[in-house]
Amino acid sequence: QVQLMESGGGLVQAGGSLRLSCAASGARFTFPHMAWFRQAPGKEREYVARVIPNGSKDYTDSVKGRFTISRDSGQNTIYLQMNNLTPEDTAVYYCWAALGQGVVWGRGTQVTVSS
């Protein structure tokens, strides 16, 4: 069974940085699509960033210029470097991976940004 495991969350002051990691286990293939989502308290889960199969990257507007997604070449491991964090970034961050119609979610890692 394929599982995604996130790590790197924590408590940080506004303006600080965190680096999230996500690694897949149990996969005998490389996911073409991997991304980060987040869910803040009382809000719906929202898209944050993704690595496109051609290698390019995409971000939601609210994190552009502050967050950087990256991926180990040919591996099912992605990262999210988060800089200049604000309290509005407080959320549970989820890793997501897809192959065709198959989708896998991680359990999430909590990021809390204090003002």
Strand partners, 4: 24
pLDDT for 103 beyond 90: yes
Strand partners, 47: 37
- Select from 39, 57, 40, 59 the least CA-distant residue to 49: 59
pLDDT tens track for 8-67: 999 999 999 999 999 999 888 899 999 999 999 999 999 999 998 888 999 999 999 999
pLDDT tens track for 81-90: 999 999 999 9
Q: What is the dihedral of CA 68, 72, 78, 79, to 10 degrees?
A: -40
Integer Cα distance of 34 and 39 in angstroms: 17
b/e map of 21-41 (b: 16 or more CB within 10 Å)?
A: bbbbeeeeeebeebbbbbeee
